[in-house]
Amino acid sequence: MKQKYLNLVLLVVVGVLIWLVVRDQKQEEQKIAKAIERQPPLTELVAGDIKRIKLKNIGSPEIVLERGEAGWDLTAPVRIQADLVQIGNLTALATTETRGSINTARAKRADLGLDPAKTVVQLDDVTLGVGEIEPLKRTRYIELNPGVADNRISLVDDFSATAIDGDFTDLVNKALIPASAKIMRIEAPGLKVERNAAGDGWIATPPSAQATAENLAEMNKAWHEVRAIATLPPDPNDKASQKPTLAVTLADGSTLRYAIISKGESIFLERRDVPVSYQFVPTDVERLSKPLKPVDLFKDAVADDAEAAPDAESGDAAAAPADDAAPAGAQPPP
């Protein structure tokens, strides 16, 4: 009798253990399923439909980006072609997954960095207040339409703040000229290269041994293909007005002028009409100016910088540009 009783107890214990294992397994499966399940997006906007972006940062001018027929442009505080990678980072905020929400009636918005938000992003008619980072899960507080009744504060995965830090130069396209632009003339100290009357070739004035048809065609191609590794605010200590200049005249009659500045392992081309400086590795600048005797062209810039900055370790990272570069094999306008 005792043996039967013990067998029954053991059977019950085994059954309970099996039930617990199955229950825990189902709970774990539910947790995994919930973890990989797509969470609600931050807004109802479609990223590809967004046409206007405003960025407001405390202490910085308002930044405005607009989409036109030819792509995205910065329209304030300056007017210049925008970087499509950074545009993609901004529009992606509209559909980023939320990781939870907070009752705005109970939340102390100041503790979340939202009273006021240091950065406000406006995507068309939707406004996002960007707050601080939640320290445990490394998520960021985002307030949807601050000041509107029934608004909400959501948590999203943290993201790079480069595009929203208030520095418009981060949003400038890394190309020196628009992709569809046609170059008519390039000028450097002591040399001018321009299209011939028929528009199918180039003439160098004065004639140069380096200004061969092949080199001139390669130079035209380079101006459409080369991308800066970074776009930065100009450094007042560079004395751009005293540096040699490259001037590029386009078919629409506009002329873009760039001061050539050598610092450390990089060469910068600083726009003279817009406060933005393009950082290049020297080999890319050589492609832009091969027929223009680059050694002579850069001599003054290099000498001036060597004298002015004995400790001119710029510390600028020479990383490959992650920009909307021209596709391989793409041909520039002839």
Residues 125 and 144 in one domain: yes
Task: Check whether 69 has a pLDDT greater than 90.
Answer: no
Q: Is residue 78 part of a domain?
A: yes
38, 42, 39: which is closest to 131 by C-alpha? 42
pLDDT, tens digit, 9 for 90 and up, residues 87-96: 999 999 999 9
Residues 301 and 255 in one domain: yes
Residues 95 and 184 in one domain: no
Domain holding 207, by residue range, is 176-308
Task: Check whether 330 has a pLDDT greater than 70.
Answer: no
Q: Is residue 33 part of a domain?
A: no
Q: Is residue 20 part of a domain?
A: no
The rounded percent of the chain whose pLDDT value lies above 90 is: 47
Does the CA dihedral 307-311-315-318 come out positive or negative? positive
pLDDT value at position 27?
Answer: 59
Distance CA 217, CA 219 (A): 5
pLDDT value at position 327?
Answer: 41
Residues 102 and 211 in one domain: no
CA angle (178, 182, 188) in 5-degree steps:
90
CATH number for the domain spanning 231: value is: 2.60.40
For range 72-85, the mean pLDDT? 96
Residues 125 and 200 in one domain: no
Q: Is residue 327 part of a domain?
A: no
Give the C-alpha distances (Å, rounded to integers) separating 176 from 6, 125, 171, 276, 327. 86, 32, 14, 11, 16
pLDDT value at position 152?
Answer: 84
Q: Is residue 158 part of a domain?
A: yes
Band (21; pLDDT cuts 50, 70, 90): low
Residues 192 and 297 in one domain: yes
Whether 83 and 276 have beta carbons less than 8 Å apart is answered as no
Residues 192 and 304 in one domain: yes
Q: Is residue 266 part of a domain?
A: yes
pLDDT, tens digit, 9 for 90 and up, residues 213-241: 888 888 889 999 999 999 999 999 999 88
Residues 140 and 181 in one domain: no
For 79-116, letters b (16+ CB in 10 Å) and e give: ebbbbebbbebbbebbebebeeebebeebebeebbbee
Distance CA 249, CA 273 (A): 14
CA angle (188, 193, 197) in 5-degree steps:
150
Structural domain count, the chain:
2
Whether 211 and 193 have beta carbons less than 8 Å apart is answered as yes
Residues 205 and 266 in one domain: yes
Average pLDDT, the chain: 82
Q: Is residue 320 part of a domain?
A: no
Residues 94 and 154 in one domain: yes
The secondary structure element, H or E, covering residue 21 is: helix 2-36
Task: Check whether 331 has a pLDDT greater than 60.
Answer: no
CA angle (319, 305, 187) in 5-degree steps:
80
pLDDT, tens digit, 9 for 90 and up, residues 97-133: 999 888 777 778 889 999 899 999 999 999 999 999 9
Task: Check whether 16 has a pLDDT greater than 60.
Answer: yes
pLDDT value at position 213?
Answer: 82
For range 20-25, the mean pLDDT? 65
Q: Which of 152-156, 209-213, 253-257 is the least confident region?
A: 209-213
Residues 159 and 207 in one domain: no
CA–chain centroid gap for 27, Å, is 42
Task: Check whether 20 has a pLDDT greater than 80.
Answer: no
Last residue of a domain, one of 170, 188, 215: 170
pLDDT, tens digit, 9 for 90 and up, residues 239-285: 988 898 999 999 999 999 999 998 888 999 999 999 999 999 988 98
Strand stretches in 5-148, DSSP E: 52-57, 63-68, 71-76, 80-81, 98-102, 119-123, 126-134, 139-144
pLDDT, tens digit, 9 for 90 and up, residues 30-64: 543 444 345 799 999 999 999 999 999 999 999 99
Residues 165 and 223 in one domain: no
Band (9; pLDDT cuts 50, 70, 90): low
Q: Is residue 321 part of a domain?
A: no
